[in-house]
Structure formats: structure tokens, C-alpha cells
Structure 1
Amino acid sequence: MSTGQQTETGTRARTRAAILEAAVVVLAQDAQASLADVAAAAGVGRTTLHRYFPERADLVHALARHVVHQSRRAIERADPHTGPVEAVLRRIVDEHFELGSILMYLYAEPLIHSDPDLAAELAAMEEAIDEVLARPEANLNPDLSRAWVRRAFWGLLYAGWETAKAGEMTRHQIVEAIMTTLSRGVYGATSAAR
């Protein structure tokens, strides 16, 4: 491969990444934003954007994969295999905080749910939570299934993101509220009595 080809590939990759990062910001703020809005935020023309993503669906699908990758990296940074369950869940909450708005958009986007592969990729993000909750020391409330607890975990994150968006609490307060709700409602009587 010539140097010119390497530069072009690098430039194309940077442009594609810039478009996806712009889409994260623009669509998280306004789910109805146009491709022209995304192009403007990325600092590229509409023609350039259409070269990478000919249709809105192409952009949304690429965005979903981009965000799933970011979520997986966030879970890796949270080191889900090290430390007590509550500490791991707190780290996962903290690592996902910045992804909140765009994840809210993706979970509500009909184009995602109509594509079984993308829906499966979003569901796969939750596997790390299931692994943490499956630990014997998780001491889950026996009245709750693990599937319910996993959904409650993501539901609390969603509530936290909405609360942050509304400016009603600080990030620290939101993380504490999520962890308090989990520890008093999910971990059973043993943890609640601490």
C-alpha cells in the first residue's frame, strides 16, 4: 500500500469517526435532527456525509454499532471481574454516565428495533451485568429474577440520564441515588440492613 493510500484511508477513517461523534451529540439532543444538522456539526458537507452514509438508516445503524463499542469499552474500564458486586455496578454506572443521552436515543429509535442484528448487539451489552449479577455474593433479593434486576439496573441508569438532562441533580447525587436504590431494593435484606 502506498503512502497516499494510507493517508487517504486514515483521512476517511477520521472523517467517518467525526461524523459518528457529531451524530452522537446531535441526535442525543434532538432525535429528529436532519442529516444536514449532523453534517454541519461534523464540519463536513452533506455530500460528504452521504458518501459515508447514503441514508439515515445507514447512519443510525453505524451509530448503534459505534455506541455499542463505546459501551463495551466502558464496561471493560469498569473491570467487571474485580471487586465486590456493588463496587463493580457503581463503576459500570459511572463509566456509562456520559453515554446516557445517546443510549436513550438508540433504545427509542425504531430503526434499531426493526433490525434483529442491531437489537441483538444492544442486548449483548447487558451480558456483563448478567455476569456480575450471577455471582453468588451478589445476594440478590430472592423475590426478583436476574432478568428483572438487569432491566431495573438499566432502567435506573435511564432515570439517572433523564435526571441529569433535566439538571435536577448533580452527577454524584445521581450515582448515589442509583446505588442506594439498587442496594436497598435489589440486594435483599442483608445489604439493606448494613
Structure 2
Amino acid sequence: MVALPSNEGGPRSRTRRAILEAAMVVLADNGTASLADIASAAEVGRSTLHRYFPERSELLKALALHVHGLSNAAIARAEPDCGPPLEALRRVVESQLDLGPIVPFVYAEPSLQADKELAAILDTGDEAIVEVLDRVATDGTAGPPCWPRLVFWALLNAGYEAVAKGTPRVQVVDAIMASLVHGTINSD
């Protein structure tokens, strides 16, 4: 998880967090939104935003680390190693779906993926998801070693989009689970 500045409860930390939270909402909706749009959503002036993040690239990197930390914390709260595998997997799916469409933005943003050090950090933390997927896959069939992880995130991306289009969350979770467990899409 990303460490916050040592003054965790102070005004500086709250302002930084407000900017990052606003960036999550604004950039999830419009990946090309301006820093002025983000400052407005955070209810801070542009000069304040620039004191924290002088360049857009710095804001994007901080946002990526923030989202990565939120994702890892959500995985931990879902307790993927506890209980029956299907229940654990459902909790993990729900925890990640709650993060919303900022996740695909972060992981698809070319400038973030071009930073090899950052990309290496972003490529960690979901090992518990792979483990619970392995616990669910009891029929002995398997694709390449990375396949379950890739399918999980692809289905989550589809889930973010479906929720954004108004599909009830429970239907999205059910569809993701059916696809992960049975490898089929049920239109019922």
C-alpha cells in the first residue's frame, strides 16, 4: 500500500487526498480532463493543485500509486484466503468492482505504462486473487499460467463498463462469477 506523508491527518495530507480522490472521479469519466477540471472537482485552486503536483505526469503517477494502494487494501479486506473458494472469489470481485472505472484508466494509460519502474509496482499486489482463482479451478483445465489473472481483470473492466451503463451491480457480479467459474456467459 502507498505510504501517505508523515503528517497523515494534517491539512496537507487531506488536500492531497482530496486532489487524488477528485482525479479518480474526473479521469475515470474523461481521461483527457485538464488539471483545472481536477482542481475544480477537488475544490482547490489550480495553484494549490500545482503545489502538490507541478506536472500532470506527477499527478498521474501519484494517482496510479493511490489506486494501486486502494486495490491492494480492498483485496486484503475481501479476505480471499478465508472461507469456501467461491465465496472468497465473489468477495474479491465485489471489492475490485467497487473501485470503479479508474482502475482500467490507470492500467491502460500509456504514460503510466511507459514508466517501467511504476509499471513493475502496478503489476504486483494481486497475487491473492490468482491464489483464489487457483482454488476455484478444481477441474484440472488450465490455460497459460497468466490466463486466470488476465481473464479476471478483463471481466472486471467489462464490469466497470456495465455498471457505468446502468446494469445493476449484483447482475454484473453474478455475470463475472459465472464467466470465471463456468467460462460461459449466461444471458438469463
When normalised by structure 2's length, the TM-score is 0.88
Shift of 1:134: 3.9
Counterparts of 2:54 and 2:140, CA distance in 1: 49
**1:134–1:146 contact (8 Å) kept in structure 2:** no
Read off the aligned partner of 1:113 and give its amino acid letter: Q
Cα RMSD of the aligned pairs, angstroms, is: 2.0
Structure 1 residues 141, 32: closer, same or farther in 2, change over 3 A?
farther
Counterpart in the other structure of 1:74: 74
- How many residues align structurally? 179
SS state of the match for residue 142, structure 1? coil
Structure 1 residues 88, 8: closer, same or farther in 2, change over 3 A?
closer
Query: Equivalences for 1:41-52 in 2 at 5 Å?
Result: 41-52=41-52
Structure 1 residues 36, 75: closer, same or farther in 2, change over 3 A?
same
Structure with a larger share of its residues in helix: 1
Counterpart in the other structure of 1:189: none
Structure 1 residues 82, 58: closer, same or farther in 2, change over 3 A?
same
Higher alpha-carbon Rg: 1
Counterpart in the other structure of 2:163: 164
When normalised by structure 1's length, the TM-score is 0.86
**2:137–2:181 contact (8 Å) kept in structure 1:** no
Read off the aligned partner of 1:145 and give its amino acid letter: P
**2:72–2:126 contact (8 Å) kept in structure 1:** no
**1:106–1:112 contact (8 Å) kept in structure 2:** yes
Read off the aligned partner of 1:175 and give its amino acid letter: V
Counterparts of 1:7 and 1:112, CA distance in 2: 27
Task: Point out the more displaced range, 81-90 or 175-184.
Answer: 81-90
* 2:43 is the counterpart of 1:40: no
Alpha-carbon displacement from aligned partner over 1:143-165 (angstroms, at most 9, x marks no partner)? 42341111101111111111111
Query: Equivalences for 1:42-191 in 2 at 5 Å?
Result: 42-135=42-135, 138-139=137-138, 141-167=140-166, 169-185=167-183
SS state of the match for residue 153, structure 2? helix
Shift of 1:131: 2.3
Structure 1 residues 9, 90: closer, same or farther in 2, change over 3 A?
closer
- Note the residue ranges of structure 2 that are not aligned, 5 or more in a row: 1-5
Q: Hey, which bits of structure 1, 4+ residues long, moved more than 3 A? A: 6-9
Counterpart in the other structure of 1:3: none
SS state of the match for residue 99, structure 1? coil
Shift of 1:122: 1.9
Identity, in percent, stands at: 51
